[in-house]
Amino acid sequence: MSNAPLHVIIVGAGLTGLATGIALRRAGHRVDIYEKSNFANEVGAAIACAPNATRALRSLGLDIKRARGVERLQTKYFTKDETDDDTTYVNTTDLKQNYGAPWFFCHRVDLHLELRRLATGSEGAGKPCILHLGCPVKVIDPEAASITLSDGELVSGDLLIGADGINSSVRRFVLGEEINPYPSGLATFRTVIPFEEVANNPSLSWVTTNPEALGLVWAEKRTLVVYPCRDGTLLNFSGNHPERRKDASEQLRINAPSTREEFLDTFGDFAERYKDLINLSKEVSIWPLLIWDELPTWTHGRTCIIGDAAHAMFPMLGQGGAQCFEDAVSIGIMFPLGTPNDKETIEGRLKLFESIRKPRASEIQTMSNRFGRGQKLLKIEGKLEADLYAYDVIQVAKDALAYPRE
Ligand SMILES: Cc1cc2nc3c(=O)[nH]c(=O)nc-3n(C[C@H](O)[C@H](O)[C@H](O)COP(=O)(O)OP(=O)(O)OC[C@H]3O[C@@H](n4cnc5c(N)ncnc54)[C@H](O)[C@@H]3O)c2cc1C
């Protein structure tokens, strides 16, 4: 068996593209990542990484401390009118103990920087990935694993991976048709607040008492979500609510500017202590929650789509990013060094990848959509908790490769 590396082209340097780059460079392959933006920086606020996400990220060499992550020690549930902490429901399940990996909160910029360092730096096995910034991919040929850039340059590889997010360009070439997510009727305000502004405010003791927590404030059809990030120096704060913008194109616009006043107005009937936190927000953005159902396929010839390009989901289960990292790790396992670069082998491995990843990600996507559409308060406990967090993508992918089903 030849030990020649594959030439892998990844479209998109978001969390999925970078994590996949790390997995494939560590496997020994030559990886080029094409990113349309110039900075390859993350937008948005923070991300909560559940134990299954942490397990996948650790296997890629991520050090939570370097990413300035904060471990979640408990989940606090409040109702919108509640002012008495005695009636708060607190879940203190020790997830690290139960699942061997913690649940941690991270600012997206910190996580993105750390993944970028691991993908393109000298640390770790394999040759650093080459990151091509300011390179929007316009056309792809899924059978040939080739891309055409906006200046007309054609680049071909052995394997092509579309990690280009919810509005993926690669997707329609893989599917042979346009299937795009559409507005769900829900949106979320997002902001971050320096923890020092919260620390000495008595009305915010619901946040500052045991601050290493996920806090959920619940009302019919609306939820406030609060948790720390960046070594505990920042609070990530968001508010899910029914979309109020009427314009159809606005309803598709991710990371649109909003205001504290709009945030306050939407949650105006919440108890004062919750509005006190909204009052501390300075820069507020608004994200539509887009929705779709399981796609017919993720693969075509030498090409696959992964991450949000394949299975973007409602954030209600906190699993969107987790499923991206599971994709990345299993792609790395499916293509060990020495994988022949003939079309039949590459196609077969992608089908094997799809056979383990699509059922799992789609089931979680469907569940997230159901909870999101119903806007029900969701407690992740018992069987649901175990199904999500105990899953070991590394073992599942290794077993699938070692014992493929006929
Ligand atoms: C409000 C909200 C809260 C969330 N909270 C959580 C959470 O707590 N936990 C969790 O696990 N998940 C969460 N998620 C989901 C998670 O954020 C996403 O699943 C994840 O960030 C998707 O990463 P990605 O790399 O697949 O896509 P993206 O982050 O969209 O990255 C795609 C990249 O591709 C680039 N690109 C696009 N088109 C092209 C092109 N033609 N050529 C070249 N480059 C291109 C883009 O510039 C971008 O850099 C949340 C999502 C939302 C909306």
Token pair for residue 276?
A: 């006190």
239 lines ligand 1 (CB under 6 A): no
295-296-301-306 Cα dihedral, nearest 10 degrees: 20
Q: Which residues are registered as beta bridge partners of 147?
A: 140, 155
Say which DSSP state 124 is in: S
Q: Residue 41 pLDDT more than 70?
A: no
Q: What percent of the chain has pLDDT over 90?
A: 79
What are 175-206's pLDDT values in tens digits? 999 998 888 889 999 999 999 999 989 999 99
CATH topology classification for 182-291 = D-Amino Acid Oxidase; Chain A, domain 2 (3.30.9)
The ipTM assigned to this model is: 0.97
14 lines ligand 1 (CB under 6 A): yes
**Mean per-residue pLDDT for 139-151?**
97
Between CA 72 and CA 406 the distance in angstroms is 42
What are 59-106's pLDDT values in tens digits? 999 999 999 999 999 999 899 987 656 557 788 888 999 999 999 999
CATH topology classification for 7-67+102-180+295-402 = FAD/NAD(P)-binding domain (3.50.50)
Q: Give me ligand 1 centre to Cα 12, in Å.
A: 9
In the block, residue with structure tokens 């919440």: 270
Q: Which residues contact 297 (CB under 8 A, 6 or more apart)?
A: 174, 175, 354
Going from N- to C-terminal start, the domains of the chain cover: 7-67+102-180+295-402, 182-291
Whether the CA torsion 260, 269, 250, 190 is positive or negative: it is positive
129 lines ligand 1 (CB under 6 A): no
What are 262-273's pLDDT values in tens digits? 999 999 999 999
Bridge-based pairing of strands 130-132 and 137-141 is unpaired
State which ligand 1 atom lies nearest to the alpha carbon of 240: 1
48 lines ligand 1 (CB under 6 A): yes
Helices (H) and strands (E) in the chain, counts: 14, 20
Q: Residue 374 pLDDT more than 80?
A: no
